[in-house]
Amino acid sequence: MTLAWGYLLALCVTTPASAAVLKGIVIENEFGGRPVPSVQASAPGANPTRTGSDGQFTLDFPQMKPGDSVRVVVNKPGYVVVNEVQLELALPSNPSAKLLVILICTKASRDC
């Protein structure tokens, strides 16, 4: 077996074909609000990550498949999640088709 075939075989064995991905965006106060950078995003079974300057994040679930249920957790000091009920969801089969939208607001303006 050549080195290239060996590498390809190892890649196929270590990368599950059905691994799931979830893409989302964190915005402030309401739909159409400004994207929020540096928000910690995590979920059991996924890599923890932070939102970029555009408010977007990607969670990879190497041991899960589309359709599995997850609960996303976001954290930014001084902020609370507005639409918390939407953070429990089934992993999508096409993560790029629709972003999970997470709304946050400051604790002081909790009624946002």
Contact 43/59 with Cβ under 8 angstroms? Answer: yes
Contact 76/104 with Cβ under 8 angstroms? Answer: yes
Domains of the chain, by residue range, sit at 18-109
- Residue 60: its H or E element: strand 56-61
Contact 112/35 with Cβ under 8 angstroms? Answer: no
Contact 76/37 with Cβ under 8 angstroms? Answer: no
Report pTM: 0.80
CATH of domain 18-109: 2.60.40.10
What is the reported pLDDT for 38?
Answer: 97
Rounded CA separation 36/83 (Å): 15
DSSP 8-class letter at 92? P
pLDDT digits (tens, 9 = 90+) for 60-110: 999 999 999 999 999 999 999 999 999 999 999 999 999 999 999 998 887
Secondary structure (3-state) at 22? strand
